[in-house]
Amino acid sequence: MNQTITHQLNHRSIREFTDEPVKPEDLKLVLEAANHTATSTGMQSAAMIRLTDMAKKQALSEICQQPYVARFPELIIFIVDVYRNARIAEDNGYQFESERDMDRFFQGWTDACLMAQNATNAIESLGMGAVFLGSILNDSAATIQVLKLPKLTFPVLGVGFGWPNQNPQLKPRLPLDLRVFENEYKILADYKEAVREYDEEMQTYYDLREANRRVDSFTLQVIKKLQNPSEKRAKILQVVRDQGFDLKV
């Protein structure tokens, strides 16, 4: 097995880091790897914001409700960036209604996700650790304010990284037959039975965020998430509208 796949199969979310700073040359490699990610129709409709301001890190940690965010040696937020291309057209004397459409938005969203994964692959290949932060969307309007995002941009996710100061257990994943289908979506007769063994395996996993407590079964995690939706995340499409995108609904 090659080294790249070894890193991918052993990915762990690292949330605590040593005081050792990320070398400038390593940071540049990570940013270049992200910048060279495949991009929809060549439009490069995503961008990165590196946070070095401690006040902004602290503000984001409060949005995420995760105190360790403020301690990250490096923190990059990946965003939809349709603004840049709209301005390129405008500064050349053109303005198009299509700059606000959902096609443009989802191109940028996908680009941002791919960039974040490419950056993480680079981070781990350099021996460092990383964690994804979907929690910046706990209050997307507040995140937009912290980052001073203009219209036609939107935060997608963050990646915090540095030199690991913990060695978490490898988190079990669903078996492939529940996530890989051939030719069409496969609907199972009994999902309770289908995840029974995985539920048992998940209960042997310790999440370091929970004081080394074994986690609930996957089934109970799913139920809890559905029972307790985030009010602000449920209204995220309104914030997308506020950022100038036309949902056409």
CATH for 139: 3.40.109.10
What is the tally of structural domains in the chain?
2
Q: Does residue 249 lie in a domain region?
A: no
Note whether 147 and 77 are within 8 A (CB): yes
Q: What is the dihedral of CA 113, 119, 53, 44, to 10 degrees?
A: -50
75: enclosing H helix or E strand:
strand 74-81
Let me know whether 152 and 72 are in one domain: yes
Let me know whether 138 and 222 are in one domain: no
Let me know whether 78 and 154 are in one domain: yes
Angle, helices 24-35 vs 102-125, to 10°: value is: 140
What is the rounded distance in angstroms from the CA atom of residue 196 to the CA atom of residue 175? 11
Let me know whether 229 and 136 are in one domain: no
Let me know whether 153 and 173 are in one domain: no
Let me know whether 134 and 215 are in one domain: no
Indicate the residue among 167, 197, 217 that finishes a domain: 167
Indicate the residue among 167, 193, 216 that finishes a domain: 167
Among 57-61, 179-183, 206-210, name the one with the lowest average pLDDT: 206-210
Q: What is the dihedral of CA 179, 184, 185, 186, to 10 degrees?
A: -90
Show the domain range for 81: 3-167
Predicted TM-score of the model (pTM)? 0.95
Model pLDDT, residue 83: 98
Q: Does residue 45 lie in a domain region?
A: yes
Let me know whether 161 and 126 are in one domain: yes
pLDDT band at 211 (very low <50, low <70, confident <90, very high): low
Mean pLDDT in the chain? 94
Indicate the residue among 152, 167, 182 that finishes a domain: 167
Model pLDDT, residue 229: 87
Q: Does residue 81 lie in a domain region?
A: yes
